[in-house]
Amino acid sequence: MIKVENLNLHYKQKVLLKNITFTLEDNKTLAIMGKSGVGKSLLLKSFIRLFDKHYLLQASSLNIDSKEILNLNVKELNTLRSKVNLLFQDVYGSFYPLIDIGSYFNIVLKTHTTLSTKEIKEKAFYFFERLGLKNHDLLWHSFIYQLSGGMARRVQIALALLSGARYLLCDEITSSLDKKNEEKIITILKELKSEFINILYITHDLNLAKELSDEVLIMEDKTIIEQASILEFLKNPQSSYAKELIELSKNENVFRD
């Protein structure tokens, strides 16, 4: 269960998030929606305290995996980050560009797991195959910038699975993909839902929320203004943004398998 109570984030004197409160039961997928600049990405970063000393993150409770995140020391926080994996919108910026994918996997996984070099490669190839990636040896020795957006995103998901992540946080991970690759990633996430305790993802796409989410959370002006099950949200939207979003989706001709 994820529990957030009265979360606030400041950068120096600037308010970035205010009075954020919500809960999410285990085995639920949550779509986080709202206009650009309302704090959606900052909310995801809060779960792994991904801020420098100029930021002030406060909360009555910020609990994930039965741990109060604000009380964790550096070692405990690093352990948590292996279980709570954040997939950034910029997939290429998530990898170090000067080393190949195999080397990057080894660096990350030897930090967070007890896997040997041989085990890392074997398990990586297993997940590559499972995620529809071919030519494993070539891929292992490739650099991230040599891959298409869809391939790079699947490599990123493979790394999350290999690290033993139990919570997946996704920041608009389909936004830069063409329709074919977008549908591949959506299919993968649907198939992987049972392997994570929770998936939280940011999207502007209501059709994606319909396919993937159990609940929807709407943010506006740096706070939460609405949270509901996807069925209740579609049936009885409360905020003006939600109503506009639903009306817009009715006028779109979007096909997904």
CA atoms within a 13 Å half-sphere pointing along the CA-CB vector of 253: 0
3-state secondary structure of 193: helix
So what's the pLDDT on residue 252?
A: 62
Quote the CA–CA distance of 130 and 137 in Å, as a whole number: 15
Tell me how crowded residue 239 is: count the other CB atoms within 10 A of its CB: 16
Q: Please report, as a single letter, which amino acid is at residue 252.
A: E
Higher-pLDDT residue of 177, 92 = 92
- For residue 123, the Cα-to-chain-centroid distance in whole angstroms is 22
Residue closest to 214 by CA, chosen among 185, 193, 240, 244: 193
Tokens of 191: 């198939």
Contacts of residue 158, Cβ cutoff 8 Å, sequence gap at least 6: 124, 127, 128, 131, 133
Q: Please, are residues 77 and 49 in contact by the beta-carbon 8 Å criterion?
A: yes
Quote the CA–CA distance of 57 and 47 in Å, as a whole number: 10
**CA distance to 4, 127, 128, 236, 251, per residue, from 120 (Å):** 34, 11, 12, 47, 47
3-state secondary structure of 170: strand
So what's the pLDDT on residue 111?
A: 86
Per residue in 94-125, pLDDT (tens digit) is: 999 999 999 999 999 998 889 999 999 999 99
- For residue 129, the Cα-to-chain-centroid distance in whole angstroms is 22
Per residue in 133-191, pLDDT (tens digit) is: 999 999 999 999 999 999 999 999 999 999 999 999 999 998 878 888 888 899 999 98
Which one-letter DSSP state was computed for residue 143?
Answer: -
CA dihedral for 225, 237, 257, 28, sign (positive or negative): positive
What residues does 67 pair with on adjacent strands? 64
Per residue in 200-230, pLDDT (tens digit) is: 999 998 988 999 999 999 999 999 999 999 9
